[in-house]
Structure 1
Amino acid sequence: MTITTRHQDLLLLDKHAVESLLSMDDALAATREAFVLHSRRQGRVFQVVRERLEGGGIFGIKSGDVQTQSLLGFKAAGFWPDNREIGGEPHQATIMLVDPLTGRPTCVIDGNAITTMRTGAAGGLGLELLARADSKTVCVFGTGVQARIQLTFALRIFSSIGKVRYVTSNGKDDEAFESLFRERCDISLALERNAAVEHSDIVITATPGRGPLFDANAVRPGTHLNCVGADTKGKRELPEGLLKRVRLFVDDAGQVAQIGEAQWAPDTRTIELGAVLDGKVRVERQREDITVFDMTGLALQDLTVASLLRERAAQKKLGTSIAWPW
């Protein structure tokens, strides 16, 4: 029996390649596409793996496919808090695109920058569709990578935003965080978190999700909340009772019920943002409505962005191509 070796190349894109190829507009377009594909069930989202590790980290896999685009792949990602002690980023992610006909890998991509941008873009779309058009004030919980990108997209979408108050876990100001936005808005540390929420049109929660961040009665009518931190069983950022008062929008209803804020209020009615983007649902926001967009992250978002990057890298001859025989 003769064994024939087939020759194939595997494209590697590191963080520098991703950052040079991916713009905010690209992220918005690809993330919008993912939401619509999900709404039309033209893209599949497979069961999420999300497990805690003995060393204190969290490891997860999100995967899916779009059969009409011959798109198949997964993201292996998680959170390793001890990375901070060695000067590293605690969030780690790697994306792999796979040939659906053969199962062979075609592209391996650093997933950190993709995750940051596509989650920021998802938050931006949530704000665009759900927040009051005259929103002027923002309260941000957290100052890490995701808090930064969420606020960046918020300021891009709402030119009316002039005041930002942020909350840190240790109650101390974060000069590095402030310096990123000082030329764009009036930004400073919140002296009291409930008061900051009460006086904000938009609230962004981007924390590790260790527990409720503020009191439910601090949220006044008309507020919109973008929530990022609850992405694992046991995590939460919102206080008990708040979901009873809100219109809850999500990226994936089943996923949010398992690992998002809805795990704490399973009877809460949810609306998928993709249905709004696809025109199946009209928001018709009333001024007194409290709206929440809970983001647990769709595998399709990673895949649509990764597919765009693979094509663009090939056009610009970026990245590293290595032989991958089989």
Structure 2
Amino acid sequence: MRSEARLLLVDKHAVDQVLVQDAVVRAVREAFELHSRREGRVFPVIREQLSTGGIFGVKAGDVQSQKLLGFKAAGFWPNNRRAGGEPHQATIVLFDPETGRPRCVIDGNTITTVRTGAAGALGISALARAESETVTVFGTGVQAASQLNFALRTLPRLKRVRYVAIDRKPDQAFASKFADRCQIESAANADEAVAESDIVITATPGGGPLFDAAAVRPGTHLNCVGADTRGKRELPPGVLERARVVVDDKEQALRLGELQWAPETPCVELGDVLTGTASFDRAAADITVFDMTGLALQDLTVARLVFERASETGSGTSVSWPW
């Protein structure tokens, strides 16, 4: 009955309780495969600068065969740091596609963090050399930590980590999160760290090139996270031209990702690599780049996972929502 309809509210604490990393990786892989088979739609992304200094965006999509419909409203508000808050903010809403009625509202911060980390893990698994042992991470924020966490889970042979903070200073809080899993140290010289790494992860606000192109040696794999808006970049000119480039979505990468700076660069989508639609045989000397702009389908498949588990366990808050 319409008068008895309910809406589930799932806050950050409830999301943290029900999310399991292995399940998130499976859900994100499903999103890539749905995208590859064109069984899931990704609607045009809204991504705009605000007069407040923030960036506001909306990513939406659906999977008609699964009756999955929704959007994530999210962005980046750097001034939140002054108040001790997280600059990344996200909220996800899932709808009943037959009626348009909202089914749940979910705090999207953790979902965004872990689904992006899981996407990075899939990129590393598919594109990096299996024998990789060293990684350099640019950034020490929430997403840098997520990317490194998933990378260490994906390639057990990774044993040496260098991190490059924005201010180039040691960040003990960041390092302590991984001290029992690897040898981790701050790198003051970005070019030297890149030159000695098998894998490079860039997870910064995307304010400009982070290292010299010449530092990237043959065989390196790069996961690039920070370029998600027009005008943002982390890679220097010359890297994409030398690399085999994989993206999550070609249109988004050309508009928002690293590919906006070298739009003629050939690329394939990761979903096509995962489904076998596109063959990708890596030579040992290949430089590979995974340009990550984030798919709405990732948010939806992980949000569905949260919704189902929260409903099963009684997590979240159910409120009356008559229509």
Common fold: TM-score over 0.5: yes
Contact 2:227 2:257 in 1 (8 A): yes
Q: Which residue of 1 aligns with 2:319?
A: 322
Distance in 2, matches of 1:275 and 1:268, equals 17
Count of equivalent residues = 323
* Structure 1 Cα separation of the partners of residues 84 and 187 of structure 2: 27
CA deviation vs aligned residue, 1:230-281 (integer Å, no higher than 9, x gap): 0000000000111110000000001100000010011011110000111112
Asked whether 1:240 is paired with 2:237, we answer yes
| Amino acid aligned to 2:80 | N
* More moved, 185-194 vs 58-67: 185-194
Which deviations, in whole Å up to 9, do the C-alpha atoms of 1:138-187 show, x marking residues without a partner? 00000000000100011111111111111011111000001001111110
- Aligned counterpart, 2:67: 70
Paired residues for 1:106-145 under 5 Å = 106-145=103-142
Aligned partners of 2:43 and 2:246: how far apart in 1? 20
Which deviations, in whole Å up to 9, do the C-alpha atoms of 1:69-105 show, x marking residues without a partner? 0000000000001111111000000000011111111
User: 1:42 matched to which residue of 2?
Assistant: 39
| Aligned residue in 1 for 2:189 | 192
Q: 2:265 is matched with which residue?
A: 268
Q: What are the equivalent positions in structure 2 for 1:282-301 lying under 5 Å apart?
A: 282-301=279-298
Q: Find the partner of 2:55 among 32, 55, 58.
A: 58
| CA drift at 1:67 | 0.1
Is the Cα contact below 8 Å between 2:169 and 2:188 reproduced in 1? no
Structure 1 residue 80 corresponds to structure 2 residue 77: yes
Deviation at 1:5, TM superposition (A): 5.9
1:310 is the counterpart of 2:307? yes
Give distance in 2, aligned partners of 1:77 and 1:202. 28
The residue identity in structure 1 corresponding to 2:282 is: R
Alignment of 1:148-297 (within 5 A): 148-297=145-294
Give 2:235's aligned amino acid.
L
Deviations 1:30-68 (A, max 9, x none): 000000000000000000000000011000000000000
1:92 counterpart residue number: 89
Q: What is the TM-score normalised by the length of structure 1?
A: 0.98
CA distance in 2, matches of 1:194, 1:176: 23
Match for residue 26 of structure 2? 29
**Corresponding letter in the other structure for 2:307:** R
What secondary structure, in the 3-state scheme, does the structure 2 residue paired with 1:6 have? helix
Percent identity (aligned): 65
Letter in structure 2 aligned against 1:121: A
TM superposition shift of 1:217? 0.5
Alignment partners' CA distance in 1, 2:2 and 2:242: 61
- For 2:160, the aligned partner's letter is K
Deviations 1:195-230 (CA, angstroms, capped at 9, x unpaired) = 000000000000000000000000000000000000
SS of structure 1 residue aligned to 2:91? strand
Runs (5+) with no aligned partner, structure 1: none
Q: What is the identity, as a one-letter code, of the residue corresponding to 1:312?
A: R
Counterpart residue identity of residue 261, structure 2: W
User: What amino acid sits opposite 1:216 in the alignment?
Assistant: A
**4+ residue segments displaced more than 2 Å:** 4-7
Specify the SS of the correspondent of 2:177.
helix
Work out whether residues 136 and 197 of structure 2, in 8 Å CA contact, stay in contact via their aligned partners in 1: yes
Task: For 1:224, give the aligned amino acid.
Answer: H
* AA matched with 2:136: C
CA distance in 2: counterparts of 1:284 and 1:278, whole angstroms:
14
Aligned mates of 1:314, 1:169 — CA distance in 2: 41
TM value normalised by structure 2: 0.99
